[in-house]
């Protein structure tokens, strides 16, 4: 009998938001959060009080999640935006601490969350690889041995002595990924990162992850990209609102998930008050309207939200903002509010034209603004808010903005504008 | 793969202190990395960069020496020349001050890394000592420079090197330990209120004036000296160092034991707090 690589038992994570309130413009959030920290620090029996609390001040990001991953298995983790997928990955990577439960991981873990830690743009590719390996606790001799293979996989064999800053932007991710794979691991925690990099590299990564089974590595793959999940996973775990909905063969679970999601059946539990409207999910779609993890700039894409409306008395306006780190890029509001005579689920999507965004990381923030039809004087209420991080990238490396300009091209957006050049 | 693979157990119950301390050793590879990151961070965006680390202790050291020997000469009542008298107390003080200014910021600086990977968080404040060690080295060089004319001329030095001089080591260690104890707690608090980062330098500067760094402890009436030693553990640390170097400080075994005991107790308490709190830090990053 083979031992499982990861066995998680009753993993629970509760965020205490009890005192995250603001008084009169001054943010007192810090006081409450600090008090919570001190309370948690003092408690010897961990999380007893928190586990008991199921009120609106506690967010149950993970609720009694148990699963096993065997050697050579590629387990996909799917679920809506905010279902608890990244919290789970964070706990397995030991960045976050569970409120309750126990996880045993046998073998060396590498997490894609840590991609590129310790990379210095002014050092050469080879030096960066050395530093990365040393942080991972790998002897210099073994790094030297693996160097050729890693650089070959990353497609950086020619750039060995070139500073990382002078390589195309995807290089850092490609190098980091290749290093993680090449330096040996038993358990790989991967997320959307497989969606970035150029297309040749993405294929190589998927191929590599799919072959992980043969070499006995276990992979945990969190993604919104259902096509990628279908391609590489042997089994899928579907979580919703912190609980496991289904575990099983890939196609079966993904089909169920898709039909439930689009059918709008994912509703708050019956015991809770049914709110007049809910933001079920916020997704990124490609030109064929299938869910992906990164936006291809050469094609249009969609920011898509699923809205469930149960009250006939409300009009719901969908508003989507795009942010780049702390910079507000744009706000777009649906032209007409949505109303429903009977409970229904709507899809509201905002189209992002091709060659519009820049090659950067973005965050979409979606808000539902609810106004009452019977009482037009009542102030509008913000009902649901969700955030979605995604990368925008150019799948054709030879067209990438990073190709000829090693310093990249700055800017919040990068549309193709018309130019005229004339001599006066 | 060689050897048995490592087994990681993640549990809600906090790990034991000994397991944490073992992890510190296991992840020692991160220490050098964090050390370098903090050093870079310290000089980021400045024109002089690394040279600031040298200038920062140099400016007050030269400033105070000039102020109290040339501008307004003071008699420190011990017969030791003022520059030597001053530096023998200022070196441990500056070690304390510089660590107190940097340590509370370190967790804030390293947030990005802490959000992405696991390592014992205690390494962060420990790596924050980097700039402090450089300031210490600079001040030692200043001290030698002050003695240089006498060494050159072969005249008797105003310092007394003897076995008791070794007390310098516990004195410096106590200054570092006290700064670490306060700095660890403050670095956690600074994640919630960055205000402490801006407040602490002023508070430390004020504490300096109630610590016998610029003046001999004898300017305080004998009846109140116990109060100074009881409230300010750094006072006795400074005096130990001065006594170790020049042989003329007010070293009292009772007060020394009290001060070093206070510092040790503070260090143990705040380490316990930090080890307990570190697992929850990621929730707030």
A52 versus A308: which is more confidently predicted? A308
Domain assignment present for A197: no
| Contact between A294 and A282 (Cβ < 8 Å) | no
pLDDT tens digit sequence for A354-377: 989 887 788 899 999 998 888 888
| Contact between B243 and B249 (Cβ < 8 Å) | yes
Residue numbers of A between 43 and 62 with CB closer than 8 Å to B:
46-47
CA B221, CA A282: separation in Å to the nearest integer? 72
Q: Say yes or no to pLDDT of B2 above 50.
A: no
| Contact between B196 and B190 (Cβ < 8 Å) | yes
Average pLDDT over residues A334-350: 88
A216 versus B264: which is more confidently predicted? B264
Average pLDDT over residues A253-281: 74
Average pLDDT over residues A215-223: 85
Q: Does A138 touch chain B (CB under 8 A)?
A: no
CA A391, CA B161: separation in Å to the nearest integer? 64
CA A345, CA A139: separation in Å to the nearest integer? 56
Alpha helices for A183-321 (secondary structure H):
199-210, 212-215, 226-232, 250-262
Q: How far is CA B239 from CA B14, B244, B247, in A?
A: 40, 8, 10
**In degrees, to the nearest 5, what angle opens at C-alpha A162 toward C-alphas A161 and A167?**
145
Q: Say yes or no to pLDDT of B181 above 90.
A: yes
Bridge-based pairing of strands A74-78 and A218-222 is parallel
pLDDT tens digit sequence for A153-172: 777 777 777 777 666 656 77
Q: Does A92 touch chain B (CB under 8 A)?
A: yes
What CATH number does the domain containing A331 carry? Answer: 2.60.40.10
Domain assignment present for A230: no
Domain assignment present for A329: yes
Residue B136, SS3?
helix
Domain assignment present for A308: yes
CA A32, CA A57: separation in Å to the nearest integer? 12
Domain that includes residue A342, residue range: 277-399
Q: Say yes or no to pLDDT of A101 above 50.
A: yes
Average pLDDT over residues B185-210: 89
Inter-helix orientation angle B253-281/B17-26, to 10°: 80
Tokens found for residue B269: 């308490």
Q: For B70, which DSSP code? A: I
Q: pLDDT class for A177, splitting at 50, 70, 90?
A: confident
Query: Nearest Cβ partner of A46 from B12, B30, B114?
Result: B12
CB contact under 8 A, A30 and B273: no
Sheet architecture: strand order including A187-190: A109-111, A187-190, A218-222, A74-78, A235-240, A243-249
- Residue to mutate among A117, A132, A140, A188, with most B CBs inside 10 A, is A117
Tokens found for residue B156: 């008797």
pLDDT tens digit sequence for B237-269: 998 998 888 877 778 888 889 999 999 999 999
All residues of chain B having their beta carbon less than 8 Å from the beta carbon of residue A99 are: 12
Predicted local distance difference test score (pLDDT) of residue A303 = 94
Q: Please name the residue of chain B whose CA is at the shortest distance from the CA of residue A217.
A: B1
Answer yes or no: is the ipTM higher than 0.90. no
Residues of B168-182 as b/e, b for ≥16 C-beta within 10 angstroms?
Answer: bebbbebbbbbbbbb
Going by C-alpha positions, the residue among B89, B270, B263, B56 that lies closest to residue B176 is B263
Domain assignment present for A348: yes
Residue numbers of A between 327 and 386 with CB closer than 8 Å to B:
none
Q: Does A41 touch chain B (CB under 8 A)?
A: yes
Q: What's the domain count of chain A?
A: 1
List Cβ neighbours of B23 (8 Å cut-off, separation of 6 or more): B15, B120
Average pLDDT over residues A382-403: 73
Q: Say yes or no to pLDDT of B1 above 50.
A: no
């Amino acid at each position: 009998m083979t031992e499982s690589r990861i066995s998680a038992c009753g993993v629970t994570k509760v965020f205490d938001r009890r005192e995250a309130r603001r008084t009169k413009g001054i943010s007192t959030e810090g006081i409450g959060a600090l008090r919570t920290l001190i309370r948690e620090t003092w408690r010897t029996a961990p999380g007893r009080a928190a586990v008991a609390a199921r009120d609106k001040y506690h967010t149950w990001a993970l609720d009694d999640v148990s699963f096993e991953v065997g050697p050579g298995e590629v387990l996909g983790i799917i679920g809506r935006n905010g279902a608890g997928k990244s919290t789970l990955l964070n706990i397995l990577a030991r960045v976050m601490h569970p409120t309750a439960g126990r996880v045993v991981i046998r073998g060396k873990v590498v997490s894609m969350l840590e991609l590129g830690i310790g990379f210095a743009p002014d050092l050469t590719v080879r030096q960066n690889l050395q530093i990365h390996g040393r942080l991972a606790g790998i002897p210099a001799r073994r790094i030297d041995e693996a160097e050729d293979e890693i650089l070959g996989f990353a497609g950086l064999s020619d750039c060995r002595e070139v500073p990382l800053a002078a390589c195309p932007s995807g290089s850092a991710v490609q190098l980091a990924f290749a290093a993680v794979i090449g330096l040996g691991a038993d358990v790989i925690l991967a997320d959307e990162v497989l969606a970035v990099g150029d297309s040749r590299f993405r294929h190589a990564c998927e191929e590599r992850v799919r072959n992980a089974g043969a070499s006995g590595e276990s992979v945990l793959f969190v993604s919104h990209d259902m096509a990628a999940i279908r391609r590489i996973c042997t089994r899928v775990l579907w979580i919703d609102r912190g609980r496991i909905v289904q575990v099983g063969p890939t196609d079966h679970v993904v089909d169920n998930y898709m039909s439930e999601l689009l059918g709008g059946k994912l509703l708050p539990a019956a015991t809770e008050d049914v709110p007049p409207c809910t933001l079920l999910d916020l997704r990124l779609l490609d030109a064929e309207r299938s869910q992906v993890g990164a936006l291809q700039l050469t094609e249009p894409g969609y920011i898509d939200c699923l809205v469930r409306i149960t009250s006939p008395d409300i009009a719901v306006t969908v508003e989507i903002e795009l942010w780049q780190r702390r910079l507000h890029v744009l706000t777009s509001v649906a032209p007409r509010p949505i109303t429903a005579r009977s409970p229904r689920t709507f899809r509201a999507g905002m189209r992002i034209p091709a060659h519009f965004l820049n090659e950067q990381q973005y965050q979409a923030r979606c808000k539902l603004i609810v106004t009452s039809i019977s009482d037009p004087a009542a102030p509008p209420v913000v009902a649901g808010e969700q955030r979605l991080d995604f990368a925008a990238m150019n799948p054709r490396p030879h067209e990438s903005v990073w190709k000829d300009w090693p310093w990249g091209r700055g800017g919040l957006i990068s549309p193709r504008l018309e130019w005229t050049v004339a001599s006066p | 793969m060689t050897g048995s693979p490592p087994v990681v157990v993640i549990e809600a119950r906090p790990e034991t202190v000994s397991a944490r301390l073992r992890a510190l050793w296991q992840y020692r590879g991160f220490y050098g990395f964090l050390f370098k990151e903090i050093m870079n961070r310290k000089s980021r965006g400045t024109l002089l960069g690394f040279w600031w680390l040298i200038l920062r202790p140099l400016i007050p050291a030269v400033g105070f020496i000039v102020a109290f020997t040339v501008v307004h000469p003071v008699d420190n009542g011990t017969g030791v020349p003022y520059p030597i008298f001053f530096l023998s107390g200022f070196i441990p003080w500056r070690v304390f001050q510089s660590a107190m200014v940097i340590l509370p910021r370190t967790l804030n600086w390293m947030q990005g890394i802490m959000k992405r990977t696991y390592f014992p968080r205690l390494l962060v404040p420990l790596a924050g000592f980097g700039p402090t060690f450089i300031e210490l080295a600079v001040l030692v060089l200043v001290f030698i420079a002050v003695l240089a004319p006498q060494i050159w001329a072969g005249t008797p030095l105003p310092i007394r090197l003897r076995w008791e001089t070794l007390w310098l080591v516990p004195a410096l260690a106590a200054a570092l330990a006290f700064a670490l104890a306060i700095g660890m707690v403050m670095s956690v608090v600074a994640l919630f209120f960055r205000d402490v980062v801006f407040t602490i330098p002023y508070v430390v500067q004020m504490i300096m004036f109630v610590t016998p760094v610029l003046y001999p402890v004898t300017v305080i009436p004998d009846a109140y000296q116990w109060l100074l030693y009881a409230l300010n553990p750094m006072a006795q640390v400074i005096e130990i160092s001065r006594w170790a170097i020049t042989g003329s400080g007010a070293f009292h075994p009772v007060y020394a034991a009290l001060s070093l005991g206070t510092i040790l107790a503070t260090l143990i308490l705040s380490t316990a707090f930090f080890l307990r709190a570190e697992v929850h830090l990621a929730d707030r990053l």
